[in-house]
Amino acid sequence: MTPVRVAVLVSGGGTNLQALLDALHDSPLARVARVITNRSDAGALARARRHDVPTTQLRDPDDAAELLAALAEAPQADLVVLAGYLKLVPPTVVARFRWRMINIHPALLPAHGGPGMYGRRVHEAVLASGAAESGVTVHYVDEQYDRGPIIAQARVPVLPGDTAEALAARVLEAEHRLLPLVVLELARRGIPNEPVRLS
Ligand code: GRF
């Protein structure tokens, strides 16, 4: 069996990309085959280059044809992972990669997601809600921000006196554990062509 080729879409620093690079580099199940970004200054690009992973910088992230071409370029992507990708994926691309495109979100969806809910704002919203716990959600990408079927979640406590930064750091650690687990499990199952729920 050839390893599942994973394309990772990123806009930022790429610590989740790094977790995937580290977890997959000696896996027979999956490998990071391409990193695609909408930002020329994404720190994730340097991480990809250090691992000899080809990169693509999109000229226009709203251009479905351009993104589809990047995903089709050899090595053609079997699975697409949005890891801190801040643009809405064009519907044509979502449809082409139905059940083969996943996103990681730093809260327990369906709470604290949707347009504009990224980065620090997510953790501020969790703290403002008074929730006793937060966590990570990995879910399928559909045509709306943060709304596709959930694949897996991991919970972390909200602690007394937490700041958004402290909570973000705790959630990020959980992200780095959960995302590779999900990718490897989907790869082990041959990227099922229907939604699966793992946890
Ligand atoms: C993570 O919190 C992820 O859940 C969110 O964006 C952040 C990306 O961080 N979607 P990094 O670029 O992987 O460090």
DSSP 153: E
- Give catalytic status of residue 123 as yes or no: no
Would the pLDDT of 42 be above 90? no
Side chain identity at 54, as an amino acid letter? P
Question: What is the overall mean pLDDT for the chain?
Answer: 97
Q: How far apart are CA 137 and CA 43, in angstroms?
A: 23
Q: Residue 93: pLDDT above 80?
A: yes
Distance (angstroms) between ligand 1 centre and the Cα of 119 equals 7
Closest residue (by CA) to atom 14 of ligand 1?
15
Q: What percent of the chain has pLDDT over 90?
A: 97
Q: How far is the CA of 1 from the centre of ligand 1 (A)?
A: 31
pLDDT at site 127: 98
| Catalytic residue, candidates 105, 112, 123, 176 | 105
Q: Quickly list H helices, the chain.
A: 15-24, 44-50, 64-72, 91-96, 120-129, 164-188
